[in-house]
Amino acid sequence: MLEVQTAWGWQPALYLFLGGLGAGAFIAAAVLFFAPVKTRTIKGKEKVLCASTWVATVCLVVGLLLLLSELTQPLRALMLWQSFSNLESWMALGAWIILIALVLFGITAVCLSTTFIPALKKINVSGGVYTFLFCAGSLAGLCLAIYTGVLLMAAEGIPFWDSWLLPCLFTVSALGTGMAALEIITAFVGRKDTASEEKGFTLLKRAVPVLLVIEAIVLFAYVLTMAGAGADDTTAEAASQSAALLVSGELAIIFWGLVVACALIIPLVAAIAKVLIKGKASGSFAIIGALFALVGGCALRFTILLAGIHADPVFDALSKLVS
């Protein structure tokens, strides 16, 4: 009666990852922009901010295309605007959130590109405009990160996803992968143009271990809550079996190896090493930790999707009638 979730394929899993990654990358860029608080300028960090906002925009676009490719009739999804007025639907609310985030991310990326593209240098973007874009974009990004978890939580018939701990988990993971993306971007862009704004990087560097600890707490609280759901009916049993799949079942190797180790332990060790160690080795630890965090963040979405066992409401109803 109980079957492993197969309705959601790899495209939605990647969309959940890329949507969260894009939201997290934009929020991480906003933190860098606002630190130190007194200046709130892009001076000295133009390249990193520009690359981060473009990564956020591209991740969201690619994620949407993957989600559309999963539909049997993708072109019909282009008519989703017709249901925007139905704010009682999570899909409609999600469509609004995605649209607003995509517009704000894209505008911010284009505005930051004026520094590097000769044809756009005539456009003078003030600090106040950047302040508004990063504030509004961060709010939209936070809503988007939460929505990636709510999207699963709202799915009917899968008890393992029916918990507010899931949106909390995906939100914290999105922030962590976003900061990991910023670490990699910084390594490729270079730190020469950001040396004068070291406070922003210091703040992000110290926030990474805190986020990883929070993510670990939420993850294990979520799994333990579902594991202790009991076996009073198929709904509780499905949630319990889903947790068992992760901890000791078919998905255990992926869960402990790619999620716990790659998404939490290795990035945490690397983050602590980066704080304690100075010099070039510090940067190497940061990149290693960031790469593992991205792999683990992606694996987290896949394992949560794969572990979603369907309940049998018909069986429950019949059991209640018999009893």
| Rounded average pLDDT over 130-145 | 94
Phi, psi (degrees; rounded to nearest 5) at 4: -65, 140
Average pLDDT of the chain, as a whole number: 80
Domain of 45, in residue numbers: 10-322
List the CATH number of the domain containing 98: 1.20.1630.10
For residue 29, is it within any domain?
A: yes
- Given a cut of 60, is residue 231 above it in pLDDT? no
Give residue 304's pLDDT band: very low, low, confident or very high (50, 70, 90).
Answer: very high
Q: Which residues contact 255 (CB under 8 A, 6 or more apart)?
A: 246, 247, 303
Q: In this predicted model, which residue has the larger pLDDT, 18 or 73?
A: 18
When divided into structural domains, the chain yields a total of 1
Q: What is the pTM of this model?
A: 0.86
For residue 4, is it within any domain?
A: no
Q: Give the dihedral sign, CA 206/207/211/212.
A: negative
CA 45 from chain centre, in angstroms, equals 24
Give residue 319's pLDDT band: very low, low, confident or very high (50, 70, 90).
Answer: very low
For residue 5, is it within any domain?
A: no
Q: Which residues contact 27 (CB under 8 A, 6 or more apart)?
A: 138, 141, 142, 145, 175, 178
So what's the pLDDT on residue 164?
92
- Cis ω on the peptide bond leading into residue 36 (within 30° of 0)? yes
For residue 20, is it within any domain?
A: yes
For residue 175, is it within any domain?
A: yes
Alpha helical stretches, state H, the chain: 10-34, 46-69, 90-113, 127-153, 165-189, 198-227, 234-247, 252-254, 266-276, 280-306, 313-322
Q: Which residues contact 210 (CB under 8 A, 6 or more apart)?
A: none
- Given a cut of 70, is residue 86 above it in pLDDT? no
Q: In this predicted model, which residue has the larger pLDDT, 145 or 71?
A: 145
- Given a cut of 70, is residue 305 above it in pLDDT? yes
Strand partners, 309: 4
299 close to 17: Cβ distance less than 8 angstroms: no
Give residue 279's pLDDT band: very low, low, confident or very high (50, 70, 90).
Answer: low
Give residue 254's pLDDT band: very low, low, confident or very high (50, 70, 90).
Answer: very high
Lowest mean pLDDT among 118-127, 141-150, 220-229: 118-127
Give residue 17's pLDDT band: very low, low, confident or very high (50, 70, 90).
Answer: very high
Give the whole-number percent of the chain exceeding pLDDT 90. 39
So what's the pLDDT on residue 282?
66
Q: In this predicted model, which residue has the larger pLDDT, 62 or 204?
A: 62
- Given a cut of 60, is residue 278 above it in pLDDT? yes
| Rounded average pLDDT over 228-244 | 75
How far apart (Å, rounded) are the C-alpha atoms in residues 183 and 190? 10
For residue 234, is it within any domain?
A: yes
Give the whole-number percent of the chain exceeding pLDDT 70. 73
For residue 1, is it within any domain?
A: no
So what's the pLDDT on residue 171?
96
Angle, helices 234-247/313-322, rounded to nearest 10 degrees:
130
Lowest mean pLDDT among 14-23, 113-122, 149-158, 189-198: 189-198
For residue 2, is it within any domain?
A: no
